[in-house]
Amino acid sequence: MTLCDLKPEHRARISGLSGPQSLRQRLAALGILRGQPVSLHAMTFWGSPRAYTIGQQQLCLRNKEACCIEVELQHE
């Protein structure tokens, strides 16, 4: 499952990054690292971009970028 598949009620953890090396480096520099908790915070009417809570920060990502972030759902 990727981050762009995440629904508002889901909680997940980042399990990996894919895509071009430059994108992976940029995402890692933003603090998007394996093991970080993530949830969908808000989305626009047309679906992209979306705001996510990742760890203790909120980031806005386009779906193209979010689809490169692999996540695993967490059961509460």
C-alpha span between 68 and 76 (Å, rounded):
25
Q: 66 pairs with which residues across the strands?
A: none
Pairing of strands 11-17, 37-43: antiparallel
Q: What CATH number is associated with residue 46?
A: 2.30.30.90
In the structure encoding, which two tokens stand for residue 2, read together?
Answer: 């990727």
pTM over 0.95: no
The predicted model gives 24-39 an average pLDDT of: 93
**pLDDT-based confidence at 44, cuts 50/70/90?**
confident
Give me the number of domains the chain comprises.
Answer: 1
Percent of the chain's residues with pLDDT above 90: 80
Cα pseudo-dihedral 36, 45, 49, 11, rounded to 10? 10
Give the range of the structural domain holding residue 57, as residue numbers without chain letter.
3-73
The yes-or-no verdict on residue 75 having pLDDT over 70 is yes
Give CA–CA dist 11/45, Å, rounded: 21
Whether the per-residue pLDDT at 52 is higher than 80: the answer is yes
Nearest Cα to 32, choosing from 50, 18, 48?
A: 18
